[in-house]
A and B are shown apart, each in its own frame.
Chain A
Amino acid sequence: GAGVSQSPSNKVTEKGKDVELRCDPISGHTALYWYRQRLGQGLEFLIYFQGNSAPDKSGLPSDRFSAERTGESVSTLTIQRTQQEDSAVYLCASSFSFLAPGLFFGSGTQLSVL
């Protein structure tokens, strides 16, 4: 596609429910990243994929968070049993390769946990 696409753009959920966020990277980009931005905070690294594998999961805040990527394309970030502190903008980015210069970001998913 022309850019990184994320869906949904907004998600409101109740505490305790599971949510799934989707990211479609730019076609041909092998590296894919998930970041989180809480209100008034910087971008917090969550996880990245090189192809279908995730060498670094150290940023995932808890075991309620998981991510997968299939076919070197779409990635989903799943948050189980959501908590209010999970409310944030979840940003996906992709790049041609892990060491390629610069990331291309999607518009993000605004998650609100009530």
Chain B
Amino acid sequence: AQSVSQHNHHVILSEAASLELGCNYSYGGTVNLFWYVQYPGQHLQLLLKYFSGDPLVKGIKGFEAEFIKSKFSFNLRKPSVQWSDTAEYFCAVNANSGNTPLVFGKGTRLSVIA
């Protein structure tokens, strides 16, 4: 069975600091990878996704994630965070074949302080 680990429970950064949120998954086959974001008081929305091709994926609002197959990782990055990036970030994975639903990590809460 697939599983997703997000090791950082809560990250606190100052504005303009660089961000990297870790995501590791366990599954031996081909996977689809996602990052979702939940801003305060809003519902979950897709930030970026990886299916195949270039392992460096660009998402909305300046976010990017890099798929490193050898490390089973899909870390989320942003060079310079803003206060408006304060949110909860969820990594998710599903197998690229068969009927498997998305499996989510426990999430990482990002607090950006001015």
Contact = CB atoms under 8 A, between A and B. Distances in A.
Classify chain A's interface size.
20 to 34
A43 B32 CA distance: 17
Classify chain B's interface size.
20 to 34
Contact of A35 (B42, B104, B106): B104
Given A43-B90, A91-B44, A108-B43, A101 B102 contact: no
Contacts, number: 51
B57 to A, nearest CB: 12
Given A91-B44, A102-B49, A108-B43, A45 B102 contact: yes
B44 A105 contact: yes
A87 interface: no
B99 interface: yes
Given A42-B90, A101-B49, A101-B51, A106 B43 contact: yes
Nearest to B1: A58
Given A101-B49, A106-B43, 15 more contacts: A40-B106, A42-B6, A42-B104, A42-B107, A43-B107, A45-B101, A48-B101, A50-B99, A59-B101, A91-B44, A102-B49, A104-B46, A105-B43, A107-B42, A108-B43
25 contacts: A33-B102, A40-B106, A42-B4, A42-B104, A43-B92, A43-B104, A44-B104, A45-B102, A45-B103, A50-B99, A55-B99, A56-B99, A56-B100, A91-B43, A91-B44, A98-B99, A101-B49, A101-B51, A102-B46, A103-B46, A104-B46, A105-B36, A105-B44, A105-B45, A108-B43
